[in-house]
Amino acid sequence: AQSVTQLDSQVPVFEEAPVELRCNYSSSVSVYLFWYVQYPNQGLQLLLKYLSGSTLVESINGFEAEFNKSQTSFHLRKPSVHISDTAEYFCAVSENNAGNMLTFGGGTRLMVKP
């Protein structure tokens, strides 16, 4: 069965500093990987996804994530964060033969300070 671990529940960082949000998953088959973002008082929005092909995927607002099959990781990075990036970030995984199931990690709260 698939599972997702987000190692950090909270990540405080100063504005314009780089950040990495860690995500590890367990699965014995090929997977799809997703990062969702939840701004305060809102639902989740898709940030980026890995389906196949290039292991580095990017979002339109400067985030990127790299799929590492050997380490079963999909860490999210941004070289320079803004105050507006303050939100909760969820990593999610689905196995290609898992029907409709998407499994979420526990979430990481990114707190960007001025």
Partner 1 sequence: DVKVTQSSRYLVKRTGEKVFLECVQDMDHENMFWYRQDPGLGLRLIYFSYDVKMKEKGDIPEGYSVSREKKERFSLILESASTNQTSMYLCASRLGQLDQPQHFGDGTRLSIL
Binding residues for partner 1, rule: CB under 8 A, are: 4, 6, 9, 32, 34, 36, 41-46, 49, 51, 90, 94, 96, 98-102, 104-107
Distance (Å, rounded) from C-alpha 83 to C-alpha 106? 22
Phi, psi of 30 (to 5 degrees): -70, 150
Nearer to partner 1, 13 or 98 (CB): 98
Q: How far is the CB of 89 from partner 1 (least distance, A)?
A: 11
Nearer to partner 1, 17 or 51 (CB): 51
- Which residue from 50, 77, 45 is spatially nearest to 62, judged by alpha carbons? 77
